[in-house]
């Protein structure tokens, strides 16, 4: 039992508070003190007992979705137990509380929803927004993850069901970086949905209306930012799973008005760049010497490419030279200057020198002979055998990252990529895959998961009290992640640390982020000891405290 804690609630009010509830771990004296006698079964169980019982129950459930549902039930009733479960085996729990299982959960969220968690801000209730956010239960909130549910993973518009994403991301802030769960708040901006299946579903929990667009949408987002900033002047706001036409403009419009970032654009870029920098250590090559093919021209693809350009510029080449190393494709093929449907980010990487009448992925790969191939297309199977074999023909150690998620949307499986490259490829995926046995050796599959970046960055930002999130901070996080690569010690090692080390990774990323924030002048200067003390004060541990009556 940890330090004592003063509690004012009693009886069912205490048992209904997920942050304070201990279930059968309440001691006999606590049960008498807080009016719990009779409300709980006689036996006392420790947290360790509860974790073992929950693990046994989860093991017997037939599907990942069933395990997700059970974990959400535990989270909504006893958050300490929930995070103790994640602590006990984060590698097994991560695919359940986030990708890939969270994708299916979002699709079925209307049928799964039972108990309130977070806030649904719907467009018809926009006049009540200030009052909704004023709830005293949210007084200590420090991190918000917000989505409008329009681009959930690779699954498209899920409307109000997209709430599963903010809930899942904030679970990782706590599990990986120790941000206390009562200091996190998931928010879903319900601006309607264009998913006809959701609109036709009699159980749909959201606003049954097509999505608002244009001036109405912009005004709603502006109102949201204004009210959040008024309510929590020092909040960290993470934009999550907004559709491509909205994601980048929202980030640019508000990044200097409120301490915020877009994880799909910047977090994905940071972890991908970190993994590529680690791979370059194995290749012994500079990034600007390599040719990169990017399959996917959305916010994630452009975000990764822009951060890679910054790396190349740091190596001494001009931005124009750096951009010439990229060939970016979308569903219509290679981005070229002849196309008139490109957004601002895509235009940066449009080619003016492409003369071939064919512009598909196979043609581009055979023509430019890339050393790096990245997939953020959201479409499974696009890294076909002939394409991967062609790449391996001219590259000794090709870097191939099928990053689309959930798992069913990956451009190729790591097993196939290794088979087609005779084990020479450096592979990292966006979703979890089981370990692979190749030539008698078992290999852990690296997952280029944003959880390597955003929880630690959040911890660092809160600890140093940064007022904004700079691109340099994402670069510092990527470089620090590369420094943690097992490849540095073992030439046969993985690109990224194992998932069970995510807590240590978060601490390291937090320190790098906070130091960069000071260099960028977005927070006050603090010494290393003060920074570590502040981080330690922020980190919450999933252990039961002894309660005393307030």
Q: Which residues are catalytic?
A: 98, 169
Residue 98 has pLDDT above 80, yes or no: yes
d(CA 320, CA 328): 15
Percent of the chain topping pLDDT 70: 100
Contact 25, 44 (CB under 8 A): yes
Contact 286, 280 (CB under 8 A): yes
d(CA 204, CA 442): 44
In sequence order, the 6+-apart residues with CB closer than 8 A to the CB of 456 are: 176, 177, 477, 505, 506, 507, 508, 509, 510, 513
Residue 8 has pLDDT above 70, yes or no: yes
Q: 231 labelled as ligand-binding?
A: no
Residue 283 has pLDDT above 80, yes or no: no
Burial (CB count within 10 angstroms: exposed 0-12, middle 13-18, buried 19+), residue 159: buried
pLDDT tens-digit profile of 326-337?
999 999 999 999
Burial 173-192 (b: 16+ CB within 10 A, else e): bbbbbbbbbbbbbbbbbbbb
Contact 324, 406 (CB under 8 A): no
More confident residue, 447 or 440: 447
d(CA 432, CA 99): 8
Instruction: Provide the 3-class DSSP secondary structure of residue 425.
Output: coil
d(CA 206, CA 122): 8
The pLDDT of residue 2: 61
Choose among 272, 287, 239: nearest CA to 405. Answer: 272
Question: In what order do the strands lie in the sheet containing 292-295?
Answer: 333-334, 326-330, 292-295, 372-375, 399-402, 426-429, 446-447
Contact 315, 288 (CB under 8 A): yes
Strand 441-443 and strand 436-438: pairing?
antiparallel
Two tokens, residue 316: 């001494």
Q: 151 labelled as ligand-binding?
A: yes
Two tokens, residue 380: 């499974």
Q: 449 labelled as ligand-binding?
A: yes
d(CA 154, CA 156): 6
185-194, 364-373, 399-408: least confident range: 399-408
pLDDT tens-digit profile of 157-170?
999 999 999 999 99
pLDDT tens-digit profile of 508-529?
999 999 999 999 999 999 999 9
Percent of the chain topping pLDDT 90: 92
The pLDDT of residue 439: 81
Cis geometry, peptide bond prior to residue 190 (ω within 30 degrees of 0): no
Residue 1 has pLDDT above 70, yes or no: no
Q: What is the pTM of this model?
A: 0.94
Instruction: Provide the 3-class DSSP secondary structure of residue 377.
Output: coil
Give all strands (DSSP E) within 131-287, no chain letters. Answer: 143-147, 184-190, 236-239, 260-262
Mean pLDDT across 222-235: 98
Choose among 326, 304, 325, 322: nearest CA to 312. Answer: 322
d(CA 294, CA 326): 7
The pLDDT of residue 490: 86
Q: 319 labelled as ligand-binding?
A: no
> All domains of the chain, ordered by start, with CATH?
46-258 (3.40.50.10380), 266-451 (3.40.50.720)
Residue 497 has pLDDT above 50, yes or no: yes
pLDDT tens-digit profile of 138-163?
999 999 999 999 999 889 999 999 99
Q: 405 labelled as ligand-binding?
A: yes
Residue 80 has pLDDT above 90, yes or no: yes
């Amino acid at each position: 039992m940890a330090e004592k804690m003063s509690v004012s609630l009693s009886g069912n009010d205490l048992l209904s508070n997920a942050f304070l509830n201990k279930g059968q771990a309440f001691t006999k004296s606590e049960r008498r003190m807080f009016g719990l006698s009779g409300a709980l079964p006689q036996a006392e169980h420790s947290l360790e007992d509860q974790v073992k019982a929950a693990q046994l129950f989860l093991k017997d459930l037939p599907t990942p979705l069933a395990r997700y549902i059970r974990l959400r039930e535990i989270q909504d009733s006893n958050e300490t137990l929930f995070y103790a479960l994640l602590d006990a085996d984060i590698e097994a729990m991560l695919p359940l509380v986030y990708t890939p299982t969270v994708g299916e959960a979002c699709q079925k969220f209307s049928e799964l929803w039972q108990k309130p968690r977070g806030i649904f801000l719907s467009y018809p209730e926009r006049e009540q927004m200030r009052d909704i956010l004023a709830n005293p239960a949210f007084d200590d909130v420090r991190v918000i993850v917000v989505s409008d549910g329009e681009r959930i993973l690779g699954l498209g518009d899920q409307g109000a069901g997209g709430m599963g994403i903010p809930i899942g991301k904030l679970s990782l802030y706590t599990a990986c970086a120790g941000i206390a769960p009562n200091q996190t708040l998931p928010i879903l901006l319900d601006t309607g949905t264009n998913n006809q299946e959701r609109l036709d579903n009699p159980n749909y929990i959201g606003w049954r209306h097509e999505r608002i667009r244009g001036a109405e949408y912009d005004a709603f987002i502006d109102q949201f930012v204004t009210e959040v900033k008024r309510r929590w002047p020092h909040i960290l706001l993470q934009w999550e799973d907004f559709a491509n036409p909205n994601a980048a403009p929202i980030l640019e419009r508000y990044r200097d008005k409120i301490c915020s970032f877009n994880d799909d654009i910047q977090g994905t870029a940071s972890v991908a760049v970190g993994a590529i920098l680690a791979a370059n250590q194995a290749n012994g090559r500079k990034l600007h010497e390599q040719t990169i093919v990017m399959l996917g021209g959305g916010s994630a693809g452009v975000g990764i490419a822009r951060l890679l350009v910054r790396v190349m510029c740091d190596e001494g080449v001009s931005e124009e030279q750096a951009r010439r190393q990229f060939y970016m494709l979308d569903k219509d093929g290679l981005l070229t200057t002849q196309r008139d449907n490109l957004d601002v980010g895509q235009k940066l990487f449009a080619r003016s020198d492409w003369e071939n009448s064919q512009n598909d992925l196979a043609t581009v790969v055979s023509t430019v002979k890339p050393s790096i191939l990245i997939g953020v297309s959201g479409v499974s199977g696009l890294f076909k055998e002939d394409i991967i074999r062609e790449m391996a023909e001219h590259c000794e150690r090709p870097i191939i990252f099928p990053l689309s998620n959930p798992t069913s949307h990956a451009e190729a499986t790591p097993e196939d990529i290794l088979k087609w490259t005779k084990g020479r490829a450096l592979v990292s995926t966006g979703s979890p895959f089981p370990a692979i046995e190749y030539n008698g050796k078992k290999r852990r599959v690296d997952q280029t998961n944003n959880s390597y970046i955003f929880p630690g960055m959040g911890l660092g930002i809160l600890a140093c009290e940064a007022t904004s999130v700079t691109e340099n901070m994402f670069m510092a996080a990527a470089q620090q992640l590369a420094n943690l690569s097992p490849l540095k010690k073992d030439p046969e090692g993985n690109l990224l640390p194992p998932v069970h080390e995510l807590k240590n990774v978060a601490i390291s990323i937090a320190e790098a982020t906070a130091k960069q924030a000071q260099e960028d002048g977005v927070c006050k200067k603090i010494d290393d000891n003060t920074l570590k003390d502040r981080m330690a004060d922020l980190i919450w541990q999933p252990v039961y405290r002894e309660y005393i009556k307030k």
